[in-house]
Structure 1
Amino acid sequence: MTLLLDGHKVQGKNLKVTANLRIESGDMSGQTSNTDKAHKGFKPKTLTVSLMIPFVDKSQLVDLMRLAEATAGGGQLHLYRVVNDSAEVFGVRQVEFSDGISAREDDSLRAWLVQFTLSERESNPEKVEGRRAGNKVNAQGAPGSAVGDGGGATDASSDNPALSGFEKVLGRVDKWLGGSEPK
């Protein structure tokens, strides 16, 4: 089994990757024995990696620590493109280190037993949720004019209320340049 992070092979022996998808749900039974659950969505998929690095190959552990401590602009954790069979099956493409990294010495094996977790970022469900249209909010209205309206304002906003703020500004500039706006 191989694990590549941005093309860097994670070195070690007995590499094992465990993929996990957590499905959040909430109990809707209240004080009854009902078994209804509310689906609260899918949480980011994780890859738990365990491997062994012999003491004589300590440079492999140094390289792994360098990958774990890498940051991007703004101090955010570095986002890695991952290549691994388990990650591919679970649809995981981009990950970052999460929940820490541990290296426990095993004297009988003369090696470090290393374990760390990679958490999915920018998943397909996350992208779909971001593109999903939000619930439309209806504006509340009442008879009469709005407070502070003044009753008779004649600016570009009253010409066409369907225009965006930027378009209204452009309309004012156009009128001013064309000479139809009083100076």
Structure 2
Amino acid sequence: MLLGFGWCHLRSSREAIREARLSEIDQIEAEIDAADQKLWNDFRTWMEVSAESFIQWQLCESLNNENGLLTWCVSRNHRTSAVWEMLDWIVTHGPVSYGLFYCHDDEDTRERKFSGRHPQKDYDNLFRVHRLLHGELTELADPFFGLIQGNIDPVHPYDRDDHDTEF
């Protein structure tokens, strides 16, 4: 089962600010605002067509002094969730977006082959962190919880070596 929680600051490019003169900044910020609005509209359209009922998401275009705040959660029986395509979409279309996707997948093992996924060790009993930054999605170790079974949850009898031998 895939269980994940994520957040993202969904943003268009800010590259024009890098070399901007102070006299140009109002115009550049207006162009960025328009590009952000287009990005958010395109994201909503993509989600309407591509997302699934297993992803619950919310995009706040404006919250206090921040814009484009996206949050989501996913619970799916298998890793084959549209959440991965959503993250790929954000990487491609939101070049300076940043955020985290925190997930546990009990099928994330070396033996299982998922498109683009070949872990070097088994992660089926761990949370993993996926960081979105500078147009890349990077997978990182979880520094907070450690093992699911044996730390967060007790080890289930099916997963213990001391099985009962009753007949």
Q: TM-score, normalised by structure 1?
A: 0.25
Q: TM-score, normalised by structure 2?
A: 0.27
Per chain length, whose mean CA-contact separation is higher, i.e. which structure has more relative contact order (CA < 8 Å, sep 6+)?
2
Larger Rg: 1
